[in-house]
Amino acid sequence: MNTGTQLGPPDQYGVAGHPVAHSWSPFIHGMFAQATAQNLVYRLFDITPEEFRREVLRLVTGGVRGLNITLPHKQAAAELVNELTPRAARAQAVNVIAHFDDATLLGDNTDGAGLINDLEQNLGLELAHKRILVLGAGGAARGVLAPLLERDPRQLIIANRTRARAAALAREFADLGNTVGCGFDEIEGPPYDLIVNGTSASLQGEMPVMPAGLVGEDTVCYDMAYGRGHTPFTLWAKSLHAKRTAKGWGMLVEQAAASFELWRGIHPDTKPVLEALAQYR
Ligand code: ATR
């Protein structure tokens, strides 16, 4: 573990994505570092898919000790590292990399734990025996499937614009529970208990067309994307009178805390950060 009291230049961390300018991770890790007296800096790295491998290797050999990985690089990061934690291996998606002194480049996935913590602890949801619909089959969706299935839902449907990706993902996770993959037009009601949007459609200001009958008065709709005000997904859910809508702020903060712990050996308190972010949500 590194201590914050040591003198010398700060340890370097950051988030790699494309786009990444909208990221709140520097704010969050800055608050964690201050609260735990860690001597570190956290920066944004906008890296295109073509440059991802070369740039990440350049950063870590240049002294960067850890990176969060966001879209569209989560699957590429799983292929880049030389060691995966069991949960990252299961997801084949990585949202955090740690570069250790012995040159190990370790990939982990804290997205699932972040989402579950937010759903259960911050929103007070119980997932056992519930019907869950996950929209999307990219890196973001991959990271949360095993942790959701471990909560023993009655059914987990994965729906995606490209149907074949959802079907393949459902097959990949079928050993963990009752899961089915389909295209958006094939999703069937009755209304789900929980709908999680793991597509990047919100970032393009879009909401895919959905069949009727998926949202009822008891449905909680969670957008893994975050931003100010409503997203196209939460607007859609509100228009259908969902019981509750939430965006991915809590998940963001919880996965960041788990990343921080991997890097610094300290689990920071997330509550002050969630409170500080409340004014921007
Ligand atoms: P991430 O790491 O955020 O998951 P990704 O791996 O590029 O990024 O995956 C993006 C996901 O959002 C995919 O499920 C993608 O659907 P496809 O598999 O059909 O490409 C989905 N997606 C992106 N833009 C979308 C849009 N406008 N409408 C619906 N789905 C969209």
User: Closest ligand 1 atom, CA of 73?
Assistant: 2
What is the Å distance from ligand 1's center to 118 Cα?
22
What is the Å distance from ligand 1's center to 140 Cα?
9
Among 23, 160, 199, name the best residue to mutate to test ligand 1's pocket (greatest count of ligand atoms within 8 A of Cβ).
199
Angstrom distance (rounded) from CA 247 to CA 220: 11
* 247 is an active site residue: no
- Sequential DSSP letters for 178-234: -EEEEEGGG---S--SEEEE-SSGGGGT------SSS--TT-EEEES---SS--HHH
Angstrom distance (rounded) from CA 101 to CA 262: 14
Q: Does 200 have pLDDT greater than 60? A: yes
Q: How far is CA 275 from the centre of its chain?
A: 20
| CB of 140 shorter than 6 A to ligand 1 | yes
Confidence of residue 281 (pLDDT cuts 50, 70, 90): confident
- Which residues partner with 43 through β-bridges? 14
Strands of 11-17's sheet in order across: 40-46, 11-17, 64-69, 96-99, 105-108, 83-84
| CB of 200 shorter than 6 A to ligand 1 | yes
Angstrom distance (rounded) from CA 254 to CA 265: 15
Percent over 90 (pLDDT), the chain: 90
Confidence of residue 148 (pLDDT cuts 50, 70, 90): very high
Tokens of 197: 């949007």
Angstrom distance (rounded) from CA 120 to CA 107: 25
Confidence of residue 6 (pLDDT cuts 50, 70, 90): low
Q: How far is CA 131 from the centre of its chain?
A: 20
pLDDT of amino acid 118? 93
Q: Does 2 have pLDDT greater than 80? A: no
Mean of all residue pLDDT scores within the chain: 95
Distances in whole angstroms, Cα of residue 81 to Cα of each of 122, 124, 138, 144: 32, 35, 19, 20
The larger pLDDT score, comparing residue 268 to residue 226, is at 268
Residue of 74, 130, 238, 243 marked active site: 74
| CB of 251 shorter than 6 A to ligand 1 | no
Sort residue 2 into left (φ over 0), alpha (ψ -120 to 50) or beta.
beta
Percent over 70 (pLDDT), the chain: 98
Please name the residues in contact with 153: beta carbons below 8 A apart, sequence gap of 6 or more: 127, 128, 129, 130, 131, 132, 177, 178
| CB of 73 shorter than 6 A to ligand 1 | no
Contact 232, 202 (CB under 8 A): yes
Question: pTM for the full model?
Answer: 0.91
Tens-place pLDDT, residues 38-60: 999 999 999 999 999 999 999 99
Residue range 261-281: mean pLDDT, rounded: 93
96-99/105-108 β-pairing: antiparallel
User: Closest ligand 1 atom, CA of 141?
Assistant: 4
pLDDT of amino acid 7? 67
Q: Name the residue with the closest Cα to ligand 1, atom 24.
A: 201
pLDDT of amino acid 70? 95
- Which residues partner with 69 through β-bridges? 16
User: Closest ligand 1 atom, CA of 140?
Assistant: 4
| CB of 161 shorter than 6 A to ligand 1 | yes
Tens-place pLDDT, residues 175-184: 999 999 999 9
- Which residues partner with 195 through β-bridges? 133, 221
User: Closest ligand 1 atom, CA of 93?
Assistant: 2
